[in-house]
């Protein structure tokens, strides 16, 4: 019984949709009943039942729903009145519809019982059915014969009633279903929306409390509204209907463009999807934060439908890796200092100067309308090469990034990159100072032989001028020291490039140079060494094929030739590929008519025969840098090379450039 009542009685709450629907239906219902008036009057008139009585009786019936329409606040109550009215109208119709079709007029009751289902209220049907039942009951009580006319048996009456009951039940069923699934659809949607909202809120709670940002884009690359809150914290407010490339571009224009181009490739569907997705930006730096980006396709069958973008804050991970890398570098620095303290300190001083020059040049170039990046490029390249040789990879990587920006985009590196370079360099300096203390910059170390020589000179009471000159010579750097250091570096480069062990022969002729004056040249000289190892010396297999010994050899020499100071590097490698140099030179618009032209071209900015660019070489910057360093000391460079027989690069300087004369060097010490 309770279930039946719950079925027939609607929930008390009336939704806005139901209210609007019933308002419209009640209006329609009232109009419908008023439309009965002329029809009934006409039927009554033509049946000889009298138009006036029809008019009055119909108006009397209409009074109820009209009254209810304007006074009832609950729209459902009006539908109950309509249920009752419908049955009264049926009675009038049967009365006015005299004649052969009077029985047929009873169809009106069944039609109206069905139509009442439109109100979506089973009670409206129930009221109508009860009205009919009460009507019959009243008649039966008043005149029993009036109900069972023509002496119909009880079962006939039961059949008669059964039709009403069955139709009323069916109409109630329809009304309730109409309410639940159509009128109540709004409630169903609300309930399901609430359930979805709940689930979304739960999911959102999860998404908003993880260190990853999630957002989705459709095929056009347009952002959907759903995303995890952290995304807006990282990238700013998510614009509605914007494309991800635009959103990304607000933070990092370059990555935004890269994504746009990459997404076009995804949509072109020419290359494999996974490959295209791999080409999309996978990292993003925002201030001091670092993020990784990954893309997960959401397929609809065979076709890409959407793409989930997962953004992760990897700052801590990057910092950890950087910290580990720096620790490893620090260990390598300690190792270098222990094995060649002087050499490392020279490198540090030279590189310190280079870092300062990079900062100065970048500041100057930033103010120029048409900046020439040649010098900056060479300095950065030299710093990169030396750092790589001394195992300071972090500096080499930063320099490589700066170099890429300068060469590939012909613009200044981002200030943040320069800042990173300076910060890293400062940390290296601090580590070095912590290791060596004040000795790092003011210590002069001498060999035993030098010590014994000067002691002997003093004991033998040699002239002061002579002793002073010998002591002043301590400040000059033996080229042997430089060449030995370069030899170690060359072997290290060969190892890194899988060229195997190489032999390095040194001939120094016991010459010395002024370290301050020559530091720039020796710094740049590393480019020549690197080129010789990288491009000159072959691999073991290639040497075996060429019928050479398995070990490549370099010869590093300093010597005097007449009045010239010579620095020479000789390799027994494959030799310079002059045709390739000539072709490159022509491409660059350089003269390439004779060996002199080709030599000049080889030392020109941007000329390289290398196929790939690496952190070691390949951009054609180093050779130009070393030529410049040579020329700054008044020297000149020449090259001798035979195909397959090796290369000799010779730097020739005036002897006077090796160091100031003795008098000049002592002058600053005299009181």
Residues lying near another protein in the complex (CB under 8 A): 47-49, 53, 57, 60-61, 63-64, 67-68, 71-72, 81, 84, 88, 91-92, 94-95, 98-100, 102-103, 131, 134-135, 138-139, 142-143, 145-147, 149-151
Instruction: Compute CA distances 347 → 482, 485, 510, whole Å.
Output: 11, 11, 22
b/e map 156-192, b = 16+ CB within 10 Å: eeeeeeeebeebbeebbebbbebbeeebbebbeeeee
CB half-sphere exposure, 226, CA atoms < 13 A: 12
The Cα–Cα gap between 423 and 417 comes to: 10
Q: For 222, which DSSP code? A: B
Token look-up 């014994």 returns 452
Q: Is 145 exposed, middle or buried (0-12, 13-18, 19+ CB in 10 A)?
A: exposed
Nearest approach, Cβ of residue 230 and another protein (Å):
57
CB closer to another protein out of 49 and 118: 49
Q: What is the DSSP string of 241-295?
A: T-BHHHHHHHH-HHHHHHHHHHHHHHHHT-S-HHHHHHHS--EEEETTEEEEEEE
How far apart are the C-alpha atoms of 603 and 621, rounded to whole Å?
Answer: 8
Closer residue to another protein (CB): 57 or 637? 57
- Smallest gap from Cβ 119 to another protein, in A, equals 18
Measured from the CB of residue 83, what is the shortest distance to another protein in angstroms? 11
Residues 6+ apart with CB under 8 A from 62: 33, 34, 36, 37, 85
Query: Which is nearer to another protein, 69 or 178 (by Cβ)?
Result: 69
Cβ–Cβ < 8 Å for 302, 370: no
Torsion over CA: 473, 474, 475, 479 (sign): positive
Pair 186, 123: CB distance under 8 Å: no
In the complex with another protein, the residue whose CB is nearer, 141 or 611, is 141
Pick the closer one to another protein by CB: 132 or 345.
Answer: 132
Choose between 56 and 271: whose C-beta lies nearer to another protein. 56
Residue 623 neighbours by CB distance under 10 Å = 23
**Residue spans of alpha helices (H) in 47-184:** 51-71, 75-96, 107-115, 122-142, 144-147, 154-178
| Tokens standing for residue 590 | 């350089």
Choice between 143 and 261, CB closer to another protein: 143
The whole-angstrom separation of Cα 559 and Cα 508 is 6
| C-alpha–C-alpha distance, residues 172 and 174, integer Å | 5
Q: Which is nearer to another protein, 146 or 209 (CB)?
A: 146
User: Least Å distance between CB 99 and another protein?
Assistant: 6
Shortest distance, position 74 Cβ to another protein, whole Å: 11
Q: Please, which residue, 157 or 666, has the CB nearer to another protein?
A: 157
What is the nearest approach in angstroms of another protein to the Cβ of residue 17?
Answer: 26
> Whole-number minimum distance, CB 142 to another protein, in Å?
7
Shortest distance in whole angstroms from residue 180 CB to another protein? 29
Residue 61 Cβ vs another protein, minimum distance, rounded to whole Å: 6
| Pick 138 or 275: Cβ nearer another protein | 138
Is 318 in contact with 289 (CB distance < 8 Å)?
Answer: no
Please say which residue, 143 or 331, places its beta carbon nearer to another protein: 143
Least Å distance between CB 81 and another protein?
8
The minimum distance between CB 60 and another protein, in angstroms, equals 6
- CB of residue 242 vs another protein: minimum separation in angstroms? 56
In the complex with another protein, the residue whose CB is nearer, 47 or 481, is: 47
Starting at the edge strand found earlier in the chain, the sheet holding 502-507 runs 502-507, 552-561, 564-571, 646-654, 636-642
Q: How many CA atoms lie within 13 A of 150 on its CB side?
A: 2
| Residue whose C-alpha is closest to residue 337's, from 451, 446, 435 | 435
Give the tokens for residue 578. 């002059």
């Amino acid at each position: 019984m309770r279930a039946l009542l719950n079925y027939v009685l609607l929930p008390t709450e009336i939704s806005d949709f139901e209210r609007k629907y019933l308002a419209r239906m009640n209006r329609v219902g009232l109009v419908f009943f008023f439309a009965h008036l002329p029809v009934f009057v006409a039927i009554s008139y033509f049946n000889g039942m009298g138009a006036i009585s029809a008019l009055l009786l119909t108006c009397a019936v209409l009074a109820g729903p009209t009254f209810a329409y304007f006074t009832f606040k609950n729209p459902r109550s009006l539908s109950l009145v309509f249920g009752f009215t419908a049955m009264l109208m049926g009675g009038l119709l049967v009365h006015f519809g005299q004649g052969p079709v009077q029985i047929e007029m009873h169809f009106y009751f069944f039609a109206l019982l069905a139509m009442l289902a439109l109100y979506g209220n089973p009670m409206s049907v129930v009221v109508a059915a009860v009205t009919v039942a009460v009507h019959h009951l009243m008649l039966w009580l008043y005149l029993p014969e009036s109900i069972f006319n023509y002496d119909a048996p009880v079962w006939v009456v039961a059949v008669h009633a059964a039709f009403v009951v069955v139709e009323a039940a069916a109409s109630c069923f329809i009304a309730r279903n109409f309410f639940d699934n159509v009128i109540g659809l709004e409630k169903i949607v609300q309930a399901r929306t609430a359930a979805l909202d709940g689930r979304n809120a739960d999911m959102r709670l999860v998404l908003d409390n993880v260190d990853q940002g999630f957002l989705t884009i459709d095929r056009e690359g347009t952002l959907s509204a759903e995303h995890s809150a952290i995304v807006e914290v990282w990238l700013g407010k998510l614009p509605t209907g914007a494309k991800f490339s635009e959103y990304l571009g607000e933070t990092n224009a370059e990555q935004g463009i890269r994504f746009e181009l990459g997404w076009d490739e995804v949509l072109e569907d020419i290359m494999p999807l996974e490959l295209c997705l791999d080409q999309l930006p996978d990292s993003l730096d925002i201030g001091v934060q670092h993020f990784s980006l990954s893309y997960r396709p959401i397929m609809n069958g065979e076709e890409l439908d959407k793409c989930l973008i997962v953004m992760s804050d990897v700052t801590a991970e990057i910092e950890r890796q950087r910290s580990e890398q720096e620790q490893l570098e620090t260990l390598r620095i300690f190792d270098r200092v222990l094995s060649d303290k002087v050499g490392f300190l020279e490198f540090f001083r030279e590189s310190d100067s280079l870092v300062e020059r990079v900062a100065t040049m970048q500041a100057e170039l930033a103010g120029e309308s048409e900046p020439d990046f040649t010098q900056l490029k060479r300095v950065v390249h030299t710093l990169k090469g030396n750092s790589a040789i001394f195992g300071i990879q972090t500096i080499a990587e930063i320099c490589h990034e700066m170099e890429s920006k300068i060469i590939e985009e012909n613009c200044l590196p981002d200030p943040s990159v320069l800042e990173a370079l300076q910060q890293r360099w400062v940390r290296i300096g601090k580590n070095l100072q912590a290791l060596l203390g004040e000795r790092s910059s003011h210590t002069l170390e001498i060999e035993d032989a030098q010590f014994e020589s000067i002691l002997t000179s003093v004991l033998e009471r040699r002239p002061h001028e002579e002793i002073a000159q010998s002591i002043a010579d301590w400040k000059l750097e033996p080229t042997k020291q430089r060449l030995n250091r370069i030899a170690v570096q060359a072997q290290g480069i060969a190892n890194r490039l899988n060229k195997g062990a190489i032999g390095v022969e040194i001939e120094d002729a016991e010459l010395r140079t002024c370290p301050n004056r020559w530091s720039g040249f020796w710094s740049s000289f590393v480019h020549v060494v690197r080129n010789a190892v990288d491009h000159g010396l072959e691999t073991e297999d290639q040497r075996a094929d060429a019928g050479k010994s398995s070990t490549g050899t370099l010869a590093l020499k300093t010597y005097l030739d007449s009045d010239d100071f010579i620095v020479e590097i000789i390799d027994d490698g494959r030799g310079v590929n002059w045709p390739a140099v000539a072709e490159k030179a022509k491409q660059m618009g350089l003269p390439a008519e004779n060996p002199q032209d080709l030599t000049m071209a080889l030392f020109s900015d941007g000329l390289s025969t290398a196929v790939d660019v690496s952190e070691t070489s390949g951009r054609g910057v180093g050779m130009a840098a070393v030529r410049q360093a040579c020329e700054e000391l008044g020297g000149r460079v020449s090259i001798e090379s035979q195909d397959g027989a090796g290369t000799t690069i010779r730097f020739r300087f005036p002897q006077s450039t090796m160091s100031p004369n003795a008098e000049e060097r002592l002058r600053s010490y005299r009181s």
